[in-house]
Amino acid sequence: MVLDTPKHYPVLLNEIISIITPQHGGTFIDCTFGQGGYTKKILRYKDTRVIALDRDILSKNNADNISKNFKERFVFKNKKFSQLSDLKLKNEKIRAVIFDLGYSYTQIKDPSKGLSFNSSGDLNMRMGINNFSAKDAIHKLEMHELEKIFKVFGEEKESKKIAKAIIKERQSNEITTQKLVELIKRIKKKQNKIHSATKIFQALRIFVNKEISELIYGLISAVKILKKDGILIVVTFHSIEDKIVKYFLKSLSENKSVSRYLPKVDQSAPLLKMFKKKPIIPTQKELEENSPSRSAKLRYAIKDQDFYEFKSDLLDKFKHLIEIENLGVKL
Ligand SMILES: C[S@@+](CC[C@H](N)C(=O)[O-])C[C@H]1O[C@@H](n2cnc3c(N)ncnc32)[C@H](O)[C@@H]1O
């Protein structure tokens, strides 16, 4: 349990507000509610409504506080955003669907989550609504499977050596967070700017929370929910996420992809409209106030058609990543 909840700084908040313009009212979906930084700001504008989702049940405490003041205009669901299409929206026109990916400062500071290499406890890493923990993965997967996870999700050059050392260590000892950090440090002796365990921890977190599958299914559902002029906004924090978002938005905003849409629609127009090719990044001022925002990239697009059915090759394009996440089914 987090006693003195550390505060999360909502990344690129001003930029998001200027894109979604809540001063005109309407309903918004905050897919990654966290401490409600975006939600609270949107609700300050009259005639707005927010439907918020978060997989972490602890964020419900923040939601309950907001509900006290905005009972009629705010609803929270402890759901994963891959379940977006389960929302009963009754044909409601959604002005924007917003994703602020990854984890919050509150979560990283929560020792029970084991997301940080400074945590002293179990290798957990579950953000919420998970089937297994990082400890399960480390103790039960085969060497080549661990190596693949580290190499692809962490881009870790020493993946093989680290996987081998884990297999050896786990024969006689339980691998805790600190044991894993020590093991990595033994292998990666060279001092780098980033902590030597950063890449392995990122890889395990992505795997445990199925972050790639979540993002892909979340994006597809979001575009289906939106109607014409609805906005899809995504803030990413690492290159794999950004690559997926960039590909998805770009492929649906180009004419060449329209041939994949179902018939009976305007075949000449793409589904999405993108105004900026380059991502929006935090200003120098924001970086000074909140250093974890340094890797944030915001991309957005506006739905330019009213139809719901469309085809995206996103699942095929990133099949190799989904297959790695699916190694978790046996855990
Ligand atoms: C970076 S924080 C969001 C912070 C929030 N924008 C704020 O201002 O307080 C990301 C949040 O998304 C949640 N999350 C991550 N993946 C999710 C998923 N697949 N479905 C639902 N929530 C998710 C995490 O539990 C975390 O609370």
Domain of residue 181, residue span: 131-208
* Mean pLDDT of the residues in the chain: 92
Q: What span, in angstroms and rounded, lies between the C-alpha atoms of 225 and 5?
A: 33
Same domain, 20 and 61: yes
Number of domains in the chain: 2
Among protein residues, the one with the nearest Cα to ligand 1's atom 15 is: 102
Check pLDDT > 70 for residue 327: yes
> Can you tell me the mean pLDDT for 316-331?
97
Choose the residue to mutate in 2, 12, 14, 32 for probing ligand 1, maximizing ligand atoms within 8 Å of C-beta: 32
Q: Which pLDDT does position 310 carry in this prediction?
A: 81
pLDDT in tens, 124-176: 999 999 999 999 999 999 999 999 999 999 999 999 999 999 999 999 999 99
Please report whether residue 80 resides in a domain.
yes
pLDDT digit string (tens) for 241-288?
999 999 999 999 986 544 455 555 555 689 999 988 899 999 999 999
| pLDDT for position 4 | 57
Same domain, 180 and 250: no
For atom 24 of ligand 1, which residue has the closest CA?
A: 103
* Residue range 62-69: mean pLDDT, rounded: 96
Q: Which residues contact 130 (CB under 8 A, 6 or more apart)?
A: 208, 209
Identify whether residues 31 and 90 lie together within a single domain: yes
CB 55 near ligand 1, within 6 Å: yes
* CA 18 / ligand 1 centre spacing (Å): 21
Candidate from 105-114, 186-195, 212-221 with smallest mean pLDDT: 186-195
**Same domain for 83 and 220?**
yes
- Pairing between strand 272-273 and 231-236? unpaired
204 pLDDT higher than 70: yes
Please give the distance, rounded to the nearest whole angstrom, from the Cα atom of residue 215 to the centre of ligand 1.
12
User: Could you tell me if residue 261 is inside a domain?
Assistant: yes
- Ligand 1 near 76 CB (within 6 A): no
Residue 87 resides in a domain: yes
pLDDT given for residue 261 in this prediction:
53
Q: Are residues 223 and 86 in the same domain?
A: yes
